[in-house]
Amino acid sequence: MESGVGIQHFMILSTLMFFIGVYGFLTRKNLITILLSVELILNSVNINFVAFNKFLYPENLGGHFFAMFVIAVAATEVSVAIAIIISLYRKLKMIDVENVNEMKY
Amino acid sequence: MLTSDLQDKLEAVQFRKIFFSLLAVLIGAAVCITTILNHSFPQVTDKVLDSSMRTIGLRLLSYNEGGFVLPFEVISILLLAAIVGSIIIAKKADSK
């Protein structure tokens, strides 16, 4: 076992990452920065998955695989979101969220 | 702009937005961290986690109990669909 690093440290780290992501998501206006904040949130969840797997259920690898699938889903989500952002940029020449209400209705 | 120049200023954020976001974030983080610190998580120490690359690869492609081959294939189809969809969304509209 690692000396002194317990599951609670990992959970506090992932909590801080999650709420930094939420703060960025709420305050930023640029769509790409919002996307990066969402990535921060997803990766904090991944930290939790792997830490729980290591400390609570070390006999199987479910958390590792779940983290891997979350990474893959995040990659697909980012690719689609970047595509939408690029096409919005071609149309509007800017990507602030206040001006993007084309997809609302 | 799609990305900002080095000369550009950082985007100005309204004070109200910062205040309420910080409030929500700090309250949420405080609740979560106090909950984490007040609970004791029983750590399993008698078993060792075997997370070598060989084990992960074998488990990822095994179709026995505890194998993950079905989500693996579903994720591969999802990735393909996302790539095709994003190419179609992002390509120029007037390229007929």
Q: Please report whether residue A56 resides in a domain.
A: yes
A99 touches chain B (CB under 8 A): no
Q: Please report whether residue A26 resides in a domain.
A: yes
**A73 CA to chain B: closest CA distance, Å?**
7
With CA atoms as reference, the chain B residue closest to A82 would be B86
Q: Tens digit of pLDDT for each residue in A59-103?
A: 888 888 999 999 999 999 999 999 988 888 888 887 788 877 777
Contact A59 B47 (CB under 8 A): yes
Q: Please report whether residue A11 resides in a domain.
A: yes
With CA atoms as reference, the chain A residue closest to B78 would be A76
Q: Tens digit of pLDDT for each residue in B1-54?
A: 677 677 777 767 788 888 999 999 999 999 999 999 998 888 777 777 777 888
Total count of domains within chain A = 1
Question: What pLDDT shows up at residue A11?
Answer: 92
Q: Is the pLDDT of residue A44 over 90?
A: yes
Read off the DSSP letter of residue A96: B
Determine the structural domain holding residue A49 and report its residue range: 7-93
Rounded CA gap, A98 and A62, in Å?
A: 41
pTM score: 0.84
- For the domain that residue A35 is a member of, what is the CATH number? 1.10.287.3510
Read off the DSSP letter of residue B10: P
Q: Please report whether residue A27 resides in a domain.
A: yes
Q: Please report whether residue A73 resides in a domain.
A: yes
